[in-house]
Amino acid sequence: MTAPAVAQQPLSMRLLASSRRFIRWLTRPQVVLSLIMLFLMFYMIIIPLYRMVMTTVTWQPRDVINVPEAEVGGLTLYHYIRMLTGALGKIYLYTPLVHSLTIATGATFLALLIGGSLAWLVVRTDMPGRRLVNQLALVPYIMPSWTLAQAWLVFFKNRLSGGTPGVFEYLVGTSPPNWLSYGPVPIMICSALHYYTFFFLFVSAALMSIDSNLEEAGDLAGASRGRILRKITFPLVMPAILSGVIMTFSKVLGTFGGPNILGTPVRYYVVATMIRGSIGVGDKADAFVLAIILILFSMTIINFNQKLVGTRKSYETIGGRGFVAQVSKLGKLKKVALAGVIVFQILVIVVPLGLLVWSSLMLQDGNYSLSNLSLQHWIGPRGTIYNHGEPGVLLNPKIWKTAWNSIRLALWTALFTALIGILLGYAIVKGRGTRLSKLIEQLAFIPYVIPGIAFGAVYIAMFIKPLGPIPALYGTFALLVVVSVGKHIPYSSRSGVSAMMQVGRELEEAAQISGAGVLRRFKAIIFPLTSAGFVSGFLLTFITTMRELSLIILLVTPETQVLASQTMFYIENGDGQMANVVILILISLVAIGNLIISRFRGGSLKKGLGM
Amino acid sequence: MESSITINNLTKRFGNVVAVNDFSLSIEPGAFLTLLGPSGCGKTTLLRCIAGLEDPDGGEIYIGDKLVFSYTRGISLPPGQRNLGLVFQNYALWPHMTVYKNMTFALEVQKLSKEEMNVRVKESLAEVQMDGYEDRYPREMSGGQQQRIALARMLAYRPKVFLMDEPLSNLDARLRMDMRAELKHLHHVAKATTVYVTHDQVEALTMSSAIAVMKEGVLQQLGSPDEIYRYPANLFVADFIGNPKVNLLDGVATGHSVDLGRFQIDMDTTGAPEKVVVAVRPEDVAISLEPVPGSVEFTAYSVLPSGADSTIVARLGKLEITVRVMGISTICMDDKIWLVFDPQMLNLYDRESGDRSTLGS
């Protein structure tokens, strides 16, 4: 070996050689990018989390009211003891936590049932109209998650809130019982009808990627249909199902909108609404304790799930090229299935939107006569007895500003997220096998396990005070962009990785051999070849950011209000009909954005999800 | 024009795996050297080290008299400054660029004039017989055409060294034959030093001026195709080269003969250890349909004609020997046949070390 030769070299030479090697390592594009991303993720994920934890274990100025001997800034477990024990613990934590878990479990199960069946019908049967169903199945995803909750209320509400009758009472004559109007059942149903899209996407992708030879092999071996489904198809789809479970469960745990609309009127609190409540009364440390517990729960469940499927399979690529799938003949059931799906789509898309439109056109809520129809909430004048004197939404400069905020936020977030996604993808894929690459991939995964409302809470802790050169961002528009980009990092890294995987390292290496520098390689090779991935990431982020509520509800101020949070403030203010108008505007904007963005370079929502 | 390539003590590790192990090799200017070995033997890694796409963990590389890599001095020139061209296994044509753009990319980096670029593109396309394909996109061409364009792209910027990483492995058998001839001719015309990676021994034997056989990152033998075929340096090389495979028979050297148990072959075995492995190529065994002096009786276990030649698997007890004869054989299965071994055509290997024994005192 060369060992003796090395030993004979003078020390200065050896030092020079190793520093040259180090600089060469450091200036590799994937290393430079990795380090930048590492810094970014520390700033956006690790430090905020650390600050949040620190807040919960130190005395806060507020605590002096309850505990006079408290030393502000000193370490204490006071907040944990307060929130985890006694009567307060029950009210603040245990009951809401049980509620949250109940809803998350129920919604996940229901969503799996709906999404899985739809996926199977679309991919593996000869049901007519499958292409259309395939496209319509994504529609609920572009609507804000609490749209259905609001529509539910229009239909099922009883006299408990607002004292006006819902459509149900108008049609049937009796007021629906509380359990049907509010609380866990409607929350679960509404969440499931929104989040089934994940299952649909994941499972249909998995079903498509199963080589039907595998099933045919089972067929030839004489296994029955059910046995094949159970022993071959199901295990192969299992990772997809579990990744749907993880995603849905963690999303529902952190969802604020639905539970706030449907739970709060009957004092059915979940952790998310509790966190908001505590922040609202200024008990930040208490809210953070709740947020941490929510994060821990979410992490545990995700970990458990991943153990179940083995090494992170659930999160990793489920996609793949389609094989010609074996199609089940439905026979006579074909029409039944189709009818069922049509009814379902109408119930999920047309009816809720119709209800919202109708509600927005009623001058007085709960009066279902034709003469009550009015455009007051849309274009009514200022200073009427309606809506606390506010003018109709379309004439309200405040709403225009809010809409502009929404669009601005979505565009900036989408831009940064898509860019970071490609760069992360590059750093991870090029560095495959190195520790740095693994570290970055794992860090990028963290926001995934932090429920939306908790992630928002993390950012309060971080940016309320300046940190080094970084100013206090609380109350600024920039903070909303930062939190949205941060929350989207897992998705963007995922779609970035899958976009980069398709490029193949040889394409860049060929340019390297040609003598092209890093910037030229990015400009001429990497960016053009990942543009579809970029647009898809952009589109996904645009849509989710436009309608995101849980994440930003704790961070918006009157100046930085966006449409999503505006609806919630209207609802809480008792101006539900104005809220419905705003929701409709929001959905229209998302739909228009979707139409425009998906025209570029073959971008698509599915690709944005890394499939 | 052409450069030599010198590799000294090169080592490349991936984690705990040593892909290239203390590898030294000298390639003459204008040579066509093939790195041959089974998959995972480190041949592609070695090629990528020469290209500058991998940073080795030890050793040095010269291209011509330019030091392009030295671990102990911490030097590593980026690929673009090594003046070499690389044809990738999957061609790596940029799918979003036309043939013209693909070919001029490197020329633009070199800041050549527009006229010069056009001349280069035209010439290079002509050399691979793809005139007029300037405006095609890669996906609009067949695999064979893409292969030619990948070659043309390399030719256009006139590197001193051609590196090729299994360039023909994605082509079908017939096209591969054609392209072998083309590549060999191209090398003849361009006279650039070429390092060619393949796991296909036929490809290596047909195209190279020299072959370096590798196994687990270590050089096994360097030699002309003829040397490699006739005198494999060890059992690994003997076994790897040749189709059908060489016959390897355990035997005992007695000094004047090799005892194979059921029979003996008379030959001078001085210089060989006692326990040997006898290697004999299938085409070096003669078949007689009747007993002749020195022949050994076998039974034809299987007869496999393939047009130009036939392969006969002969058995004697547990001993099995593959024999290759020209043309369609008239031998039928289970026929008695008599094999004649020519001591000149045998190689003896040390059963312990696997190395070839040099015979004669």
Determine the average pLDDT of the residues in A183-207. Answer: 88
- Can you give the pTM of this predicted structure? 0.82
Residue A495, domain CATH:
1.10.3720.10
- Give the number of domains in chain A: 1
Q: How confident is the model at residue A312 (pLDDT cuts 50, 70, 90)?
A: very low
How far CA A284 is from CA of A276, A289, A452, A573, A588, in Å, comes to 10, 9, 17, 23, 36
Q: Using alpha carbons only, what angle is made at residue A512 by residues A510 and A518, rounded to the nearest 5 degrees?
A: 135
Residue A436, chain B, CB below 8 Å: the answer is no
User: SS3 sequence, chain B?
Assistant: CCCCEEEEEEEEEECCEEEEEEEEEEECCCCEEEEECCCCCCHHHHHHHHHCCCCCCEEEEEECCEEEEECCCCEECCHHHCCEEEECCCCCCCCCCCHHHHHHHHHHHCCCCHHHHHHHHHHHHHHCCCCCCCCCCHHHCCHHHHHHHHHHHHHHCCCCEEEEECCCCCCCHHHHHHHHHHHHHHHHHHCCEEEEEECCHHHHHHHCCEEEEEECCEEEEEECHHHHHHCCCEHHHHHHCCCCCCEEEEEEECCCEEECCCCEEECCCCCCCCEEEEEECHHHEEEECCCCCCCEEEEEEEEEECCCEEEEEEEECCEEEEEEEECCCCCCCCCEEEEEECHHHCEEEECCCCEECCCCC
Can you give the length of chain B in residues? 361
B149 contacts in chain A (CB < 8 Å): none
Cα–Cα distance between A155 and A158 in angstroms, integer? Answer: 9
First to last CA, chain B: 45
- pLDDT in the model for residue B1: 54
**pLDDT at residue A239 in the model:** 78
Q: ∠ at Cα A30 (A29, A36), nearest 5°?
A: 90
Q: Read off the pLDDT of residues A62-75 as tens digits, 9 standing for 90 and up.
A: 888 888 888 888 88
Answer whether residue A417 is part of any domain: yes
**How distant, in Å, are the alpha carbons of A316, B151, B178 from that of B174?**
40, 19, 7
- Cα angle for residues B45, B46, B52 (degrees, 5° grid): 85
Q: How far is CA B337 from CA A358, A359, B247, B332, in A?
A: 97, 99, 17, 10
Residue A37 counted as domain residue: yes
> Within a 10 A sphere around the Cβ of A223, how many other Cβ atoms?
16
Going residue by residue through chain B, which has 361 residues, state the pLDDT in tens, using 9 for 90 and above: 578 999 999 999 988 899 999 999 999 999 999 999 999 899 999 999 999 999 999 999 999 999 999 999 999 999 999 999 999 988 899 999 999 999 999 999 889 999 999 999 999 999 888 999 999 999 999 988 999 999 999 999 889 999 999 998 888 888 888 889 889 998 998 889 999 999 999 999 999 999 999 999 999 999 999 999 999 999 999 999 988 899 999 999 988 899 998 888 988 888 889 999 999 999 999 999 999 988 999 999 999 998 889 999 999 988 999 999 998 888 889 999 999 998 888 999 999 999 998 876 4
The mean pLDDT value of chain A amounts to 83
Max Cα-Cα span within chain B: 76
Residues 6+ positions from A57 with CB-CB distance below 8 Å: A75, A76, A77, A79, A80
> Chain A within 8 Å of B59 (Cβ-Cβ)?
yes
Tokens 């590197």 correspond to what residue? B159
Look at B109 and A515 and tell me if their CB atoms are within 8 Å: yes
Contact criterion met (CB < 8 Å) for B92 and A510: yes
Is A13 touching B (CB cutoff 8 A)?
yes
* In the predicted structure, residue A387 carries a pLDDT above the cut 80: no
Domains of chain B: 5-234 (3.40.50.300), 244-350 (2.40.50.140)
Residue B64 contacts A where some CB pair is shorter than 8 Å: no
State the Cα–Cα distance between residues A477 and A411, nearest whole angstrom. 13
Q: Which residues contact A493 (CB under 8 A, 6 or more apart)?
A: A420, A421, A424, A425, A428, A441, A444, A445
* B24 inside 8 A of chain A by CB: no
Optimal mutation site among B50, B77, B96, interface A, most CBs of chain A within 10 A: B96
Task: Copy the structure tokens of residue A353.
Answer: 């939107």
Q: What are phi and psi of A83, to 5 degrees?
A: -85, -25
Residue A440 · residue A37 · CB < 8 Å: yes
The per-residue b/e assignment along A425-451, b for 16 or more CB within 10 angstroms, e otherwise, is bbbbbbbeebebbebbbebbbbbbbbb
Q: Is A408 a member of any domain? A: yes
- Are the Cβ atoms of A511 and B96 closer than 8 angstroms? no
Which residues does chain A have within 8 Å of residue B79's beta carbon, measured at their own beta carbons?
509, 512-513, 515
Looking at residue A389, the DSSP 8-state letter turns out to be G
Distance CA B57, CA B20 (A): 9
* Signed CA dihedral, A143, A145, A150, A156: sign only: positive
Nearest chain A Cα distance for residue B4, angstroms: 19
| CB atoms A516 and B22 under 8 Å | no
The string of pLDDT tens digits covering residues A498-511 is: 888 888 888 999 99
DSSP 8-state secondary structure symbol assigned to residue A371: G
What residues of A are in contact with residue B92 (Cβ under 8 Å)? 504, 506-507, 509-510
To 10 degrees, the CA torsion angle through A14, A19, A24, A27?
A: 180
Q: Which helix (H) or strand (E) holds A89?
A: helix A86-89
In degrees and rounded to multiples of 5, residue B344 shows phi and psi of -60, -30
- Cα–Cα distance between A3 and A18 in angstroms, integer? 15
Q: How far apart are CA B9 and CA B7, in angstroms?
A: 7
Q: Which helix (H) or strand (E) holds A130?
A: helix A130-136
Res A386: pLDDT = 72
- CB contact set of A415 (below 8 Å; sequence gap of 6+): A538
- Distance in Å, alpha carbon of B159 to nearest chain A alpha carbon: 10
Contact list, A534 vs chain B (CB under 8 Å): none
Q: Which of A19, A507, A520 sits opposite B92 (nearest CB)?
A: A507
Two tokens, residue A239: 């990772």
Closest Cα of chain B to A121: distance in Å?
34
> What are the chain B neighbours of A16 within 8 Å (beta carbons)?
73-74
Answer whether residue A530 is part of any domain.
yes
Task: Please tell me the predicted confidence (pLDDT) of residue A298.
Answer: 84
Number of H-type helices and E-type strands within chain A: 33, 0
Query: DSSP for A410-445?
Result: HHHHHHHHHHHHHHHHHHHHHTTTSHHHHHHHHHHH
> Is the per-residue pLDDT at A314 higher than 60?
no
Least reliable range by pLDDT among A284-293, A437-446, A602-611, B347-356: A602-611
Cα A551 from Cα A256, distance rounded (Å): 9
Is the per-residue pLDDT at A313 higher than 50? no
Alpha-carbon distance of A590 to A593, in angstroms, equals 5
Q: Which residues pair with B325 in a beta bridge?
A: B310
Contact B84/A at CB under 8 A: yes
Query: What's the rounded mean pLDDT across residues A105-121?
Result: 92
Residue in A286, A231, A294, A364 with CA at minimum distance from that of residue A89? A286
Does the residue A473 lie in any domain?
A: yes
DSSP, collapsed to helix, strand or coil, labels residue A75 as strand
**Residue B278 · residue B346 · CB < 8 Å:** yes
Nearest of B240, B239, B242, B206 to residue B224 by alpha carbon = B206
Contacts of A25 in chain B (CB under 8 A): 55
User: How far away is chain B from the Cα of A25, in angstroms, using its nearest Cα?
Assistant: 9
- Residue listed under structure tokens 């299935």: A337
Output the pLDDT for position A187. 94
Task: Tell me the chain A residues in contact with residue B76 when contact means C-beta distances shorter than 8 Å.
Answer: 21, 24
pLDDT > 70 in chain A, percent: 92
pLDDT at A264 over 60: yes
- Assigned token pair, B108: 């633009």
Whether A328 is covered by a domain: the verdict is no
Asked if B79 contacts A517 with a C-beta cutoff of 8 angstroms, the reply is no
In A516-535, the residues whose Cβ lies within 8 Å of chain B are 516-517, 520, 524-525, 528-529
Longest Cα–Cα distance of chain A, Å, equals 100
The Cα of A13 is separated from the nearest Cα of chain B by a number of Å equal to 7
Residue pair B22/A1 in contact (Cβ under 8 Å)? The answer is yes
Q: What is the pLDDT of residues A196-215, one digit of tens each?
A: 988 888 888 888 777 666 66
Q: Which residue do the tokens 């312990």 mark?
A: B352
In a domain, A326, yes or no: no
Q: Which of A348-362, A429-443, A589-603, B144-158 has the lowest mean pLDDT?
A: A589-603
Mean pLDDT confidence for A415-442: 90
pLDDT at A603: 60
Is A217's Cβ below 8 Å from some Cβ in B?
no
Q: Give the separation between CA A83 and CA A67, rounded to whole angstroms.
A: 15
Residues of the domain holding A603:
30-52+396-611
Distance CA B49, CA A438 (A): 24
Give the residue among B300, B248, B293, B284 at the shortest CA–CA distance from B266. Answer: B293
Answer yes or no: is pLDDT of A82 > 50: yes
Q: Which residues are CB-neighbours of B160 under 8 A, at least 6 positions away?
A: B1, B2, B3, B63, B64, B83, B84, B192, B193
Q: Confidence band (pLDDT; 50, 70, 90) for A321?
A: very low
pLDDT computed for residue A164 by the predictor: 77
Q: Which residues of B touch A18 (CB under 8 A)?
A: 74
The beta-carbon neighbor of B74 closest among A16, A512, A529 is A16
Q: For residue A470, give the 3-state DSSP assignment.
A: strand
User: What is the spatial distance between Cα A610 and Cα A540, in angstroms, rounded to a whole number?
Assistant: 10
Give yes or no for residue A322 having a pLDDT over 60. Answer: no
- Across the interface, do A1 and B78 touch by the CB < 8 Å criterion? no
In this predicted structure, what is the pLDDT of residue B100?
95
* CB burial string A380-408: b at 16+ within 10 A, e below: beeeeebbeebbbbeebeebeebbebbbe
Residue type, A136: L
Q: Which of B86, B104, B111, B197 to mutate to test the interface with A (most CBs of A within 10 A)?
A: B86
- For residue A475, the SS3 value is coil
A127 lies in a domain?
Answer: no
* Per-residue tokens: B149: 């364009």
- Kindly report the nearest CA distance between residue A298 and chain B, in angstroms: 34
Per-residue pLDDT at A323 = 45
Model pLDDT for residues A323-345, shown as the tens digit of each residue: 445 667 777 788 888 888 889 88
Distance from CA of B41 to the nearest CA of A (A): 19
Q: Which residue has the tokens 């007895």?
A: A385
Identify whether the C-beta of residue A273 lies closer than 8 Å to the C-beta of residue A287.
no
Spatial separation of the C-alpha atoms in residues A440 and A33, rounded to whole Å: 10
- At residue A578, the 3 state secondary structure works out as helix
